[in-house]
A and B are shown apart, each in its own frame.
Chain A
Amino acid sequence: GESVGLHLPTLSVQEGDNSIINCAYSNSASDYFIWYKQESGKGPQFIIDIRSNMDKRQGQRVTVLLNKTVKHLSLQIAATQPGDSAVYFCAENAYQAGTALIFGKGTTLSVSS
């Protein structure tokens, strides 16, 4: 697998590897976090979310980790497939602040077979 300690705009992995995409969020009051996948020419697609009262949440082949101490969010994709190639964005929301999702910079994941 390949991990990235800091946010990088691109990540290239081999099919079958585990991928880790990182995100630093900005607002310490944020209490809801989401990972979105965006394929070329399409809108953001929900992958997984996590609330601030949790530090880990698992879905199908994906895991989100939240470290509130350092305001860091990561997305782990197990057994990465070519269909996972896309741009991945984290987004944050503070319930008290309103409805807006604040998106982070994207990471382009390229999976080669």
Chain B
Amino acid sequence: EPEVTQTPSHQVTQMGQEVILRCVPISNHLYFYWYRQILGQKVEFLVSFYNNEISEKSEIFDDQFSVERPDGSNFTLKIRSTKLEDSAMYFCASSQGLPPYEQYFGPGTRLTVT
């Protein structure tokens, strides 16, 4: 069964550094998402991406964040200057269409900012 993959599984970085989290969505999906989950808390929407542009973003997704689909298979989330509070699990998801099409989630990248 096709699945969303993410790399790395764990990223440790120092405060102020830039990080890029990578995702490979399911190949025939058209919508891509990033969510985050701070330890012990609920999953929070960050951004959705369609047709090579952001279609929706949350208040969390400020100027420090950016997304890109650099080629036909990868989807990346960049955090320009990481803060301690960026430490969280970051989940990529993809779907064939808008809800109620199912969003399939990847296994996540644990980002630790020290």
CB atoms of B44 and A103 under 8 A apart:
yes
Q: Which residues of A contact B103 (CB under 8 A)?
A: 46, 101
Measured CB to CB, the closest approach of chain A to B49, in angstroms, equals 9
| B31, B93, B99, B104, most chain A CB atoms within 10 A | B99
Q: Are B43 and A93 in contact (CB under 8 A)?
A: no
Q: Which of A17-46 contact B (CB under 8 A)?
A: 32, 34, 36, 41-46
Instruction: Knowing A93-B99, A99-B31, say if A46 contacts B45 (CB, 8 Å).
Output: no
Chain A residues lying within 8 Å of B93, measured Cβ to Cβ, are 43
For B45, list chain A residues within 8 Å (CB): 100-103
Cα A27 to Cα B106 with chains together (Å) = 26
* CB-CB contacts below 8 Å: B54-105 with A: 55-56, 58, 91, 93, 98-100, 102-105
B108 within 8 Å of A (CB atoms) = yes
Partner of A89, one of B33, B43, B56: B43
Say yes or no: B100 contacts A105, CB within 8 Å: no
* B48, A100: Cβ atoms closer than 8 Å: yes
Given contacts A89-B43, A105-B42, A106-B42, contact A99 B99 (CB under 8 A): yes
Looking at chain B, what size class is its interface with the partner chain?
A: 20 to 34
Nearest B residue (CB) for A99: B48
Interface residues of B (CB under 8 A from A): 4, 31, 33, 35, 42-45, 48, 50, 55-56, 58, 91, 93, 98-100, 102-108
Instruction: Decide if B43 touches A103 in the complex (CB within 8 Å).
Output: yes
A98 lies within 8 A of chain B by Cβ: yes
Tell me whether B98 and A46 are in contact (CB under 8 A).
no
List the A residue with the shortest CB-CB distance to B56: A98
- B99 contacts which chain A residues (CB < 8 A)? 32, 93, 95, 99, 101
| Chain B nearest Cβ from A100, distance in angstroms | 4
Is B56 touching A99 in the complex (CB atoms < 8 A)? yes
Q: What's the least CB distance linking A106 to chain B, in Å?
A: 6
